[in-house]
A and B are shown apart, each in its own frame.
Chain A
Amino acid sequence: MDAISLMESAANGALIGLMYSLVAMGIVLIYKSSSVPNLAQGSMTMLAAYVVLAFANSAGAPIWAAISLAIITMFIIGLAIERVALRRLAGRPIIMILMMTLGLEIFLRAGSMTIWGGTTRPMNLGISDAPLFLGPLLINRAYAFGAVVTIAMFGFFVMFFRSRMGVVLRAISDDYTAAWSVGISVERGVALSWAMSAVVATIAGVLWSSVQGVDQSLAQLLLKGVTVAVLGGLDSIGGALLAGVLLGVVEGIASSVLDPLLGGASRDLVDAAMLILTILIRPHGLFGRHDIERV
């Protein structure tokens, strides 16, 4: 294992990690506004990819139009999920809410498999397969594109949280009772955060399926997304971005070192270990807010 190939795995890992942050951002958006840990984010990502393909293949739309249509569809689906499933559970014990998102996960995953079937299908965004040369390092073009889009999304959210609607969402996430009492419609804010999270899931779904194709394995991005979200702090978008890079680099290096030793598939192990270590050492993550509990 020489230095160049290690650096290469680190660089590609950082780019992959940024694409993980996109999944994590969806989780963070929802958690910030309503303290709901969305375990269905992975299957929302998968559903979105299938919706894009449905528009592109069945309706014959060009890929950019299919993506825009899918974004609109997912916006509505996000609103619907919040309205139908989550709003009635507000104030219930967290176990009910967790189970609800798990139920949503199973329903969305199996539902999209029922409708569209499980064979892997490609999604072509027109990114060439030729690697980028960065000095001596070979960089995957699709990862680089994904990383750029992620940073653009992060920039968008930084701007958004300074706008009027963004301030409303920040107020809700700070203290929803206080927000309620000054006349902010908490329901609308939470619904908006679900819709935005579904849109982020669409973008993540498109980017990931351009890398690995559209199939059930997109739903397994959940573990990565949760790990990144917890590591960065469940209510910090910037934390998700940095934690994504961190996880990507650690995963890239660790798997290139550990895979030959352990016989492959050490990525998931690294994720799980990172998640456990984060929770045991610093449960509120790198940039999350540390809540004080009253008896």
Chain B
Amino acid sequence: MLFRQAGIFHTDYSADRALFPIPADRWMIGSLLLLALAAPLYMNTLYLSSYLLPWLVWTAGALGLNLILGWAGQFHLGYAAVMGIGAYAAVHASRAGIPWEIAIVLAGITAAVIGSVFAFAALRVKGLYLALSTLALQFVMDWTISHVPAISGGTQATLQAPDIRLLGWAVTSDAGLYYVALVWCVLVTSFMLNLRRTALGRALVAVREKDYAAAVIGVNSFYFKLVAFATSSFIGGVTGAILVGTFYHAVTPEQFSVDVSIQALAMVIVGGLGSIIGSYFGAAFILLMPGVMNSFISWAATKFGFSLGIETLAHLPQAFYGALIIGFLLIEPLGLGKIYNNIRDYLLVWPFGYTKK
């Protein structure tokens, strides 16, 4: 079958430790990358800039949240605030005339520094209390962003994001913006893929499983929690900056409110904790669901001849979204990534389902 393992012999250690030991995976990743690179050629700009681009950027964001939630096992209900810090930092830096390449790195560093404040809550408490304190920090950050005129440019204000300039070239075409998002998403993905093979990744997993036990075997759990928060905040900050630079083109406090934090959390949960491919699925699912839902409702309304009020139409996708989170937790708590893995495991040994993979 597609994922055939027969006849694949790893004769040295480096082949055995490769990121994708099975050739079918390598072929798949390679062709997907080619498809993604060629996307501006065969896809119309509407789909490219309003579906594919936000999907890639949000996937990078979801991966950053997955790092803290799925790998290090620490709650983060304030991820949108971290993304917002990055976005505002990048916009202010590039408005001050700093080149965009440096501005997004500055955005990441600012977000990492402020995001590490969340880690100091993690030093003191964990589990439920960490979740609540990060939620409270999200409210504090929201309030600060919207009430300090130096950051938000005044109440109810929208700050225009300057055009992205890479090495002096202004990136304004849809295809250009798409490539910026693609490069960032690929970078984050390859970082996360490699993370699980490094000492850092293994230490994070040890902290996730039991922080005291990790401390007993010599893993400094506070240090690794801090690193996890800083790294994920860096990814979040740059993602926020890229989201504003390539998709929103302007920044307001509402783009990074507590609802967005929950949305990011939903991406990770629906996709699967600690699953990289799951983050892709989760981001796609959560982003596409409202649109699909709306068109389904209007299709059903014309088909079956009923009409719904505007308010009903406005809130129904939201209710469905809540029901979806509940449904996933009840039926497949490990998310879409787990479903993908089940199918893959089945195909690996097909048609000899009784063998071990």
Contacts and interface: CB of A to CB of B under 8 A. Distances in A.
B140 A269 contact: yes
A82 interface: no
A90 B113 CA distance: 37
Given A111-B319, A269-B140, A295-B212, A279 B121 contact: yes
Interface residues of A toward B: which range? 35 or more
A53 to B, nearest CB: 15
Contacts of A223: 139
B321 A106 contact: yes
A265 B147 contact: yes
Interface residues of B, number: 45
B322 A100 contact: no
Please report whether the interface of chain A is mostly helix, strand, loop or mixed according to DSSP. Answer: helix
B329 interface: yes
Interface stretch (B8-16, B88-96, B122-130): B122-130
A89 B325 CA distance: 13
Interface in B112-163: 121, 124-125, 127-129, 131-133, 135-137, 139-140, 143, 147, 155
A273 B326 CA distance: 30
- Most B CB contacts (10 A, CB to CB) among A99, A108, A115 go to A99
Interface stretch (B172-180, B310-318, B345-353): B310-318
B140 A279 contact: no
A263 B132 contact: no
Given A230-B132, A268-B139, A273-B140, A100 B147 contact: no
A32 to B, nearest CB: 14
B323 interface: yes
A85 B326 CA distance: 7
Given A95-B75, A110-B315, A269-B140, A293 B212 contact: yes
A180 to B, nearest CB: 23
Interface of A: 37, 85, 88-89, 92, 94-96, 98-100, 102-111, 113-115, 117-118, 223, 226-227, 230, 262-263, 265, 268-269, 271-273, 275-276, 279-280, 283, 293, 295
The 6 closest A-B pairs by CB, nearest first: A107-B322, A103-B325, A106-B322, A110-B318, A110-B319, A113-B315
Interface of B: 69, 75, 121, 124-125, 127-129, 131-133, 135-137, 139-140, 143, 147, 155, 210, 212-213, 216, 262, 265-266, 269, 273, 309, 311-312, 314-316, 318-319, 321-326, 329-330, 333
18 contacts: A85-B330, A94-B131, A99-B265, A100-B325, A103-B325, A103-B329, A104-B326, A106-B262, A114-B318, A117-B312, A223-B139, A226-B132, A230-B129, A230-B132, A273-B140, A293-B212, A295-B213, A295-B216
